[in-house]
Amino acid sequence: MQASGPLNHWLYAADVGEEIHRFASEIYPLCRSITGNGVRETLASISRQIDLEVNEVPTGTEAFDWTVPQEWSIRDAFIKNAGGKRIIDFHACNLHVVSYSAPVHGFYRLADLKPHIFTLPDQPDLIPYRTSYYQLGWGFCMAHSQLQALPDDMYEVLIDSGFHNGALTYGEHVHPGLTDKTMLLSTHICHPSMANDNCSGIALLTQIAKRMAGLRTRYTYRFLFCPGTIGAIVWLSRNEAILHQVTHGLVVSGVGDGGGPTYKRSRQGAAEIDRIMRHVLRHSSPQAEIIDFVPYGYDERQYCSPGFNLPIGLLQRSRFGSYPEYHTSADNLDLIRPSHLAESYRVVANVLDIVETNRRTRNLLPKCELQLGRRGLYGPIGGDPASADRVMALLWVLNLSDGEHSLLDIAERAGLSFRTVLEATELLMLHGLMEDLPDTTVC
C-alpha cells in the first residue's frame, strides 16, 4: 500500500493560487466573531466546497478552565455627529465596532466618548481590529486622522448588540485514511473582514481538503475550522479520547501575504513535523524563517499546552504581529496574492506528501554495494546534475536503509530532496532490493 506519493499529482495544481484567492474573497465580507452567524455563514461557505460536520456547542458548556460564552449578535452601530450624519457606520466596515461590545445608546461629549475609541496614531489612516471577548465593555475603532478631525461636540452613539444563550460553532472535515494515525490541520475562523488573518488560512485548508477528496491515504486528516482559543479548547475537550492518534499537526494562518514563510516549531521542538517543515522549507523556500516555540501566538498555544504537548507547529508567512497591516483595515484582499497563496499551498502539499510516504526501509543485500550496473541502475556521476542526484540517491538509500533511518533521515543526511530519495527507494523496491519495515509509520 506504500504507493509513491499518492498526493503528488495534485502538488503542482495549476491556478491553485487563484482558486484559493477566489474563496478567500467570498468569505471576506462576513462579520465573524468567536460566536454567532458570521461564523455560521463562513462554515456554510466551506461546506459548499467540502463535506463539513458543523458542531454547535451550547453557551455555558465547560471546557477545561473555560466556559462557552453567550452568543453575540449585532444589528447596527453608529456614531452620528451633531448634524445627525453617521460618521461611523458598522455597515460600512465591520471593524468599526469592538467585537463583543455591550449595547449602548446615548449622547456623549467628545471627551467622554474618547475612552471608547481605539485608533492607531502611528498608522493614522487605518482602522484597528479590537475585541472585548472576556470582559464586558463597548468601543469603536476608527482612523486616527478621522478622530483628530472631530470637532468638540455632542455625538449620538448606538451599538445595537445583544448577548443570548446560543452556541459556539465550529466545523470539522475528516479525510479517513487506511490507519487512524492522524494529522490535524487547524485554522481559526473568528476574525471579521481580514484577508490574511485569516481568510487566507481558511481558504487554503479548504482547498487542500477539496483536492485530497477521493485520495487513498495512509493517514487520517482532520481539518478543523474553529474560533481561536475557545474553539480549539472546546475541540480538545471533546476529543481527548483520540488525541493519542494525532502524530502530526499544523496550525495554518496568515498564509497569503508576501513575507516569510515562517514556521514556528512545536513545543516538542524536534517532532517529525518540525523536521518535515524544515526540510520542505529549506528546499522550497530558502528565505523561510524557522523559530522556536513560544507560548504566545495562535491555537498551537492550546495544542502545545503541557497537558497535551501535541506535535503541532504553526505555518504562516509574515510572523504574526510583525507586519504593519496586521489587525488593521489594511489586511484586505490586496494584501494577499494568488502567488503567495500558491506557494503556501505547495508547502502544505509537500508536507503531506512526506507525512504520507516517509517510512523506514531495509536494504535486503546490505553487505557491500550492489552491482547496480547489471541492473541498469548505474549511470554516470557527473554530467547532468539531476542524473548525478539520482545515482547518489540510490547509493545513499542503499547505504542508510538499515532499519534505523527513515527516508527523511536519508534525505537530510544526503542533502537531497525527499522526493529524490523517495523515487530512488521506489526504484530499488521495483527491483526487489528493498523492503518496507513492518509498522514503520514514522512518528
Q: How far is the CB of 307 from a copy of itself (least distance, A)?
A: 3
Nearer to a copy of itself, 65 or 152 (CB): 65
Q: Min. distance of Cβ 364 from a copy of itself in angstroms?
A: 10
Whichever of 214 and 306 has its CB closer to a copy of itself, that residue is 306
Cis status of the peptide bond prior to 261, with omega within 30 of 0: yes
Nearer to a copy of itself, 214 or 373 (CB): 373
Compare residues 399 and 441 and give the one whose CB is closer to a copy of itself.
Answer: 399
Minimum CB distance to a copy of itself smaller for 22 or for 244: 244
Rounded to whole angstroms, the Cα distance separating 376 from 358 reads: 26
Nearer to a copy of itself, 2 or 268 (CB): 268
- Please state the closest distance from residue 94 (CB atom) to a copy of itself, in A: 23
Residue 85 neighbours by CB under 8 Å, 6+ apart: none
CB of 131 to a copy of itself, least distance (A): 12
Comparing CB distances to a copy of itself, the nearer of 207 and 266 is: 266
Q: How many other CB atoms are there within 10 angstroms of residue 298's CB atom?
A: 24
Contact at 8 Å (CB) between 43 and 171?
yes
Tell me the three state secondary structure of residue 261.
coil
Helices 407-414 and 418-430: angle between axes, nearest 10 degrees: 120
Q: 3-class DSSP state for residue 173? A: strand
The least CB distance from residue 232 to a copy of itself, in Å, is 8
CB of 216 to a copy of itself, least distance (A): 31
- Please, which residue, 28 or 133, has the CB nearer to a copy of itself? 133
Strand 289-291 and strand 262-264: the pairing is: parallel
- Output the smallest distance, CB 189 to a copy of itself, in A: 18
Query: How long is the chain?
Result: 443
Specify the residue, 233 or 341, whose C-beta has the smaller distance to a copy of itself. 233
**Buried (b) or exposed (e) across 186-209, using 16+ Cβ within 10 A?**
bbbbbbbbbbbbbbbbbbbbbbbb
Q: What is the nearest approach in angstroms of a copy of itself to the Cβ of residue 432?
A: 12
Cα separation values, 387 from 177, 377, 390, 393, 429, Å: 34, 11, 5, 10, 19
C-alpha cell at 196: 490574511
Q: How far is the CB of 240 from a copy of itself (least distance, A)?
A: 8
- Is 92 or 381 the residue whose CB approaches a copy of itself more closely? 381
At its nearest, how many Å lie between a copy of itself and the CB of residue 382?
A: 8
Given a contact cutoff of 8 angstroms between Cβ atoms, the answer to whether 138 and 113 are in contact is no
Summary count for the chain: helices (H), strands (E): 12, 19
Q: State the helix-helix crossing angle for 16-27 and 37-47, rounded to 10 degrees.
A: 150
Question: What are the backbone angles phi and psi of residue 61, rounded to the nearest 5°?
Answer: -65, 135
Cβ nearer to a copy of itself, comparing 49 with 237? 237
Residue 343 to residue 345: CA distance in whole angstroms: 5
Grid cell for residue 210: 477539496
Q: How far is the CB of 395 from a copy of itself (least distance, A)?
A: 4
Cα separations (Å) of 79 from 106, 271, 302, 365? 10, 51, 38, 79
Compare residues 22 and 375 and give the one whose CB is closer to a copy of itself: 375
Q: Tell me the C-alpha to C-alpha distance, in Å, between residue 65 and each of 137, 229, 233, 237, 261.
A: 22, 12, 9, 10, 33
Q: Report, in Å, the least distance between residue 183 CB and a copy of itself.
A: 20
Q: Which residues bind a copy of itself (CB under 8 A)?
A: 63-66, 134-135, 229, 232-233, 236-237, 267, 294-296, 301-302, 304-309, 363, 365-371, 373-374, 381, 392, 395-396, 398-402, 414
Q: What does residue 86 show for φ and ψ, rounded to 5 degrees?
A: -70, 105
Whether the CB-CB separation of 71 and 39 falls below 8 Å is answered with no
